[in-house]
């Protein structure tokens, strides 16, 4: 195992040499212990090194935690996943045709807000304002069609959870998921306090755009509206505060460590959060999905089938400005792996946004040749 950890250290060091800032990687095999490897710095200003206890924003990996809480509520008989969401959102267009399940399996047909929301570091967003941005952008489709990545559904899922439980979303996730699994290094800052001093700074690459630049993500268009917040520059810029936690809410507000992410997926697959039949709500009934710049190929609810190291893994990936995260589990070998980075880009095709995927590939092969 020492040789493997040394090899992983070299992989992370090479990742930093290529232009990343800091990284943390954790893995565990079957019933074995969790090993952690770190590299680079948590803050470029003071040169503080990344350590295993430092927190990273995990972006859309938040979604898996939120769905785990939602399904637990369904298992407890508090929510019917097949019910139309019009019971909770009677004024939402088309709500009578959208099920609770479709909010979180990317088949709701709801319009998207993430690419339209203005970056405003000082603003505290309300969930209903995010939904409003989505419907102003338009593009709603009939539910039940092909999977189209959708963040708006997770805003509604968070509101639904809060209404059903009478708790904040973060408190519910803590009670139903984090607490039972003994996860002490994961928080939902949009709705609960967290130790901000442990968060690494995030850094963003926003190179000058050509005159004919497109917003099409598949063609390298920018995901986020950074005008007036970050200038175009070939140099990395601190983006730690550009996307407020309140704007990420139930779709991407959480912070964590790779060790906690590994423990989360291990516990989820081991049946420590919900029983096997209910876990199928997340893991089963997957449909094809292809999202530019990702490894995600099939979507369940809060969980994707992706290809890493030449084989199938299940989990999620996430990004918010200046941070990228991957957490994956292979049920066949029992390998669970998670990696976080504090560099990112609005161009999902660039090294700063997607370079860690190749590191995860190589790490898997180093752990299990």
| pLDDT band at residue 218 using 50, 70 and 90 as cut-offs | low
For residue 210, what pLDDT is reported? 76
CATH code for the domain of 154 = 3.40.710.10
Q: Give the C-alpha separation, 249 to 161, whole Å.
A: 12
CA angle 142, 144, 147 (to 5 degrees): 100
Give 290-311 pLDDT, tens digit per residue: 776 678 889 999 999 999 999 9
Tell which residue, 94, 314, 252, has the closest CA to residue 102: 94
pLDDT at residue 217 is higher than 70: no
Structural domain of residue 225, as residue ranges?
2-367
Q: Give the C-alpha separation, 159 to 368, whole Å.
A: 41
| Domains identified in the chain, total number | 1
Phi first, then psi, for residue 15 (nearest 5°) are -60, -45
What pTM was computed for the model? 0.96
Mean per-residue pLDDT over the chain, rounded: 94
The percentage of residues in the chain with a pLDDT greater than 70, rounded to a whole number, is 97
CB atoms within 10 A of CB 266: 18
Residues 6+ apart with CB under 8 A from 221: 213, 214, 215, 347
Q: Give the C-alpha separation, 212 to 262, whole Å.
A: 42
Helix 276-283 crosses helix 258-269 at what angle (to 10 degrees)? Answer: 120
Q: Which residue intervals of the chain are DSSP H helices? A: 2-17, 62-75, 100-104, 127-137, 152-165, 169-173, 179-181, 245-252, 258-269, 276-283, 351-367
Q: Give the C-alpha separation, 321 to 344, whole Å.
A: 6
Give 164-210 pLDDT, tens digit per residue: 999 999 999 999 999 999 999 999 999 999 999 999 999 999 998 87
Indicate the range of 99-113, 174-188, 284-298, 308-322 predicted with least confidence: 284-298
Burial class (CB in 10 A: 0-12, 13-18, 19+), 182: exposed
Tokens 């893991």 label which residue? Answer: 283
The mean pLDDT value for 3-32 works out to: 96
Q: Give the C-alpha separation, 201 to 74, whole Å.
A: 37
């Amino acid at each position: 195992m020492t040789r493997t950890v040394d090899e992983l250290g070299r992989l992370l060091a090479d990742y930093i040499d290529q232009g990343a800032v800091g990284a943390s990687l954790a893995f565990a095999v079957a019933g074995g212990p969790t090993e952690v490897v770190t590299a680079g710095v948590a803050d470029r200003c003071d040169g503080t090194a990344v350590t295993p206890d430092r927190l990273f924003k995990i972006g859309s990996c938040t979604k898996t935690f939120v769905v785990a809480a939602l399904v637990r509520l369904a298992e407890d008989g508090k929510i019917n996943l097949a019910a139309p969401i019009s019971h909770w959102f009677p004024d939402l267009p088309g709500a009578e045709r959208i099920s609770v399940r479709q909010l979180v399996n990317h088949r709701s047909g709801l319009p998207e807000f993430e690419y339209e929301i203005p970056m405003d570091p000082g603003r505290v967003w309300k969930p209903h304002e995010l939904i409003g941005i989505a419907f102003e952008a338009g593009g709603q489709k009939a539910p039940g069609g092909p999977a189209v990545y959708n963040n708006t559904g997770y805003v509604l899922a968070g509101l639904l959870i809060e209404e059903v439980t009478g708790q904040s979303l973060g408190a519910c996730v803590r009670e139903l998921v984090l607490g039972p699994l003994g996860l002490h290094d994961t928080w939902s800052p949009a709705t609960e306090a967290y130790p901000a001093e442990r968060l690494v700074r995030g850094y963003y690459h926003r190179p000058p755009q050509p005159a004919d630049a497109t917003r099409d993500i598949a063609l390298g268009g920018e995901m986020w509206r950074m005008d007036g917040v970050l200038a175009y520059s070939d140099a990395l810029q601190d983006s730690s505060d550009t996307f407020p936690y309140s704007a990420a809410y139930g779709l991407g507000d959480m912070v964590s460590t790779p060790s906690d992410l590994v423990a989360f997926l291990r516990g989820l697959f081991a049946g420590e959060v919900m029983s096997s039949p209910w876990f199928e709500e997340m893991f089963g009934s997957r449909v094809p999905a292809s999202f530019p710049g990702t490894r995600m190929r099939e979507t369940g609810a809060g969980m994707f089938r992706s290809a890493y190291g030449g084989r199938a893994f299940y989990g999620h990936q996430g990004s918010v400005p200046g941070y990228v995260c991957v957490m994956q589990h292979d049920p066949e070998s029992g390998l669970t792996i998670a990696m976080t980075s504090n560099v990112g880009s609005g161009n999902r095709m660039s090294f700063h946004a997607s370079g860690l995927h190749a590191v995860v590939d190589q790490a898997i092969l180093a752990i299990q040749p």
